[in-house]
């Protein structure tokens, strides 16, 4: 139905739409896809011809309903495969993304339906990202960046914003993972760094770290 390249573009544009809340620029797509803007223009025009997105020259791209559904399908597959890799094959959460990047392109509705059942219809992938359902709907949960918490607040880690290997391995060394309870003991105005209490231990974390960890606030 669609090529790998087309699917990767749709996915990238889908993610960028969340951030920009509107038309996505050629340069933004190029950066995300690690290609040149001229290549993006070509592909965006092709996807517009296929009515997967609307596009006016110099005005950026916006997915159509069809395009958004297709993008959600790819993301659903990506995240389900990540769950498979971690839960069933015991991969580490920092290793699965590049493999899922390939597996997300396997074409078979039956396969993904059975995989979903096999995995127990999970709601989230190993990085805490929600898995779209068959209809492309994504469960939005209340989550905030750790950096938004104030001194004294408590939260549970529910996901990561960046999921680079470096960051995930850093979290591992600090024994922070999905489900870890965090108590903000202090926050430095100067550089945005924080002091946390995690499992009766004190941690110092940088602003960069706190801006890449999603938490659900615990009322206390």
Partner DNA sequence: CTATAAAATTAGACTAGTCTAAAAATATTT
Partner DNA sequence: AAATATTTTTAGACTAGTCTAATTTTATAG
107 interacts with, out of a copy of itself, DNA, Mn ion, none, CB within 5 to 8 A per kind: a copy of itself
Selected binder of DNA within 1, 22, 58, 142 (CB under 7 A): 58
Burial grade of 156 (CB within 10 A; 0-12, 13-18, 19 or more): middle
What's the order of all strands across the beta sheet hosting 181-187?
144-145, 213-218, 154-160, 181-187, 194-198, 201-205
Give the Cβ contact number of residue 189 at 10 Å. 6
Selected binder of DNA within 39, 169, 177, 216 (CB under 7 A): 39
Q: Cβ distance 209 to 147 under 8 Å? A: no
Selected binder of Mn ion within 23, 87, 101, 211 (CB under 5 A): 101
Question: How far is CA 181 from each of CA 106, 145, 187, rounded to the nearest angstrom?
Answer: 37, 14, 17
Q: Which stretch, 58-66, 70-78, 95-103, 153-161, contacts DNA (CB under 7 A)?
A: 58-66
Binding mask 78-117 for a copy of itself (x = CB under 8 A): -------x--xxxx---x--xx--xx--xxx-xx--xx--
Q: What distance in Å separates the CA atoms of residue 90 and residue 103, rounded to the nearest whole number?
A: 17
185 binds a copy of itself (CB under 8 A): no
Selected binder of DNA within 18, 22, 57, 142 (CB under 7 A): 57
Q: What distance in Å separates the CA atoms of residue 131 and residue 157, rounded to the nearest whole number?
A: 17
97 interacts with, out of Mn ion, DNA, a copy of itself, none, CB within 5 to 8 A per kind: Mn ion
97 binds Mn ion (CB under 5 A): yes
Nearer to DNA, 3 or 206 (CB): 3
45 binds a copy of itself (CB under 8 A): no
Beta-strand (E) ranges in 138-220? 144-145, 154-160, 181-187, 194-198, 201-205, 213-218
**DSSP state, residue 219:** P
Residues of this chain that interact with DNA (CB under 7 A) are 3-6, 25-28, 35-46, 55, 57-60
Residues of this chain that interact with a copy of itself (CB under 8 A) are 85, 88-91, 95, 98-99, 102-103, 106-108, 110-111, 114-115, 118
């Amino acid at each position: 139905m669609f090529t790998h390249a087309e699917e990767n573009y749709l996915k990238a544009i889908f993610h960028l739409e969340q951030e920009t809340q509107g038309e996505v620029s050629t340069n933004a797509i190029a950066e995300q896809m690690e290609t040149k803007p001229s290549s993006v223009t070509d592909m965006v025009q092709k996807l517009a011809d296929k009515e997967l997105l609307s596009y006016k020259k110099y005005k950026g791209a916006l997915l159509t309903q069809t395009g958004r559904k297709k993008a959600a399908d790819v993301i659903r597959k990506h995240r389900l495969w990540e769950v498979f890799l971690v839960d069933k094959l015991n991969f580490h959460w920092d290793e699965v993304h590049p493999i899922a990047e390939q597996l997300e392109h396997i074409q078979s509705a039956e396969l993904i339906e059975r995989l979903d059942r096999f995995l127990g219809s999970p709601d989230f992938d190993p990085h805490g990202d929600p898995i779209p359902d068959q209809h492309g709907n994504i469960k939005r949960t209340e989550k905030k960046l750790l950096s938004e918490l104030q001194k004294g607040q408590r939260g549970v880690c529910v996901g990561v914003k960046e999921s680079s290997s470096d960051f995930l391995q850093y979290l591992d060394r600090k024994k922070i993972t999905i489900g870890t309870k965090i108590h903000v003991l202090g926050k430095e105005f100067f550089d945005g760094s924080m002091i946390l209490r995690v499992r009766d231990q004190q941690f110092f974390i940088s602003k960069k770290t706190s801006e890449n960890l999603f938490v659900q606030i615990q009322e206390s």
